[in-house]
Amino acid sequence: MKRTLAIILALVMALTMTFTGTAFGAESDTYLALGADLSDSEKATVLDLLGVDDTQGYEVLYVTNSEEHQYLDKYVDSSQIGERALSSVLIRQNSGSDIDVETHNIGFCTESMYRNALETAGVEGAEVIVAGPFQISGTAALVGAIKAYEEMTGENVDDDVIEGAVGEITTTGELGEEIGDKETAGEIINDIKEDLADNPDMSSQEIEESIIESAKEHGVELSEGAVDKTREMIEDLQGLNIDWGGFKDKAQELLNSGFFDRIINWFKSLFN
């Protein structure tokens, strides 16, 4: 899981900004957050995967390994984060309200895991590409997104929002590893968040019941440890300043549009 958490951190924060006005499209309106420790050849590989020929027209930020540790040590053993910042991300706004995610050389987080965490952070209408120079987990890119967000808006990002999004991705990934299916794990987490949108004041027992019921609906039986960790993560989200009503409205909008059917078919034809 490890190195992926920082890519996510970068994503969540660069994308938590509210995109308004003219949609991004020009290169000058697209942000790159690159790992500061990429060698020249690794950087060339990453830029090629991100579809960037020349960085001159882009806003470019760099993420250091110390920044990765600052945000990720709470969730990941420092030895697993490593000593080099490699994960990189490109972010631009797209038309509509969907979040489109594409990954290259990312082994721990799936596209839907990124998408779910960004939705939790209130992001919509964004195109996100995450890449590593070789197979890595990818978490470091989240740190870059935080820096991009602060640079673009001039606002400091609430650490609680960062931690909530990182905690969600970490828990979803670990849950996916336990049940052998990260996509199903993401669906379980989304089910619970929809229950939370219906009842933001759910008790710990009600959250546990929601977790167990959702897992059962997906044909999964979770260990007591998995239920406990998922409940703790949901309780962390519960304490954040999240518009749960808006989250539910968004979920219903996607359902009505047939978005989930498209995603299912897409993943069947994709990797993972």
Identify the CA nearest to 196 among candidates 161, 239, 160, 226.
239
Name the pLDDT band for 134 (thresholds 50, 70, 90). Answer: very high
Name the pLDDT band for 128 (thresholds 50, 70, 90). Answer: confident
Which of the two residues, 77 and 183, has the higher pLDDT score? 183
**pLDDT value, residue 180:** 94
**pLDDT value, residue 244:** 67
pLDDT digits (tens, 9 = 90+) for 135-169: 987 766 666 665 665 665 565 667 787 778 778 88
Query: Which of left, alpha, beta for 125 (phi over 0: left; psi -120 to 50: alpha)?
Result: left
**pLDDT value, residue 207:** 96
CB-based burial, 161-187: b 16+ in 10 Å, e otherwise: bbbbbbbbbbbbbbbbeebebbbbbbb
Residue 257 neighbours by CB under 8 Å, 6+ apart: none
- pLDDT higher than 90, residue 15: no
Task: Report whether 139 contacts 8 (CB < 8 A).
Answer: yes
**pLDDT value, residue 49:** 96
- pLDDT higher than 90, residue 10: no
Identify the CA nearest to 148 among candidates 57, 67, 62.
62
3-state secondary structure 132-168: EEEEECCCCHHHHHHHHHHHHHCCCCCHHHHHHHHHH
**pLDDT value, residue 58:** 87
- Cα–chain center distance at 216: 25
- pLDDT higher than 50, residue 2: no
DSSP E strands in the chain: the ranges are 31-35, 59-63, 88-93, 99-106, 126-136
Q: Which of 87-101, 126-140, 154-168 has the least mean pLDDT?
A: 154-168
**pLDDT value, residue 59:** 85
pLDDT digits (tens, 9 = 90+) for 28-84: 467 888 999 999 999 999 999 999 998 888 889 888 888 888 777 777 777 767 889
pLDDT digits (tens, 9 = 90+) for 209-264: 999 999 999 999 999 999 999 999 999 888 887 766 665 555 444 444 444 344 33
Rounded alpha-carbon distances, angstroms, from residue 74 to 70, 170, 240: 8, 11, 18
Residue 32 pairs with which residues in a beta bridge?
Answer: 60, 90
**pLDDT value, residue 19:** 36
Name the pLDDT band for 110 (thresholds 50, 70, 90). Answer: confident
- pLDDT higher than 80, residue 16: no
Mean pLDDT of the 110-135 span: 80
- Cα–chain center distance at 230: 17
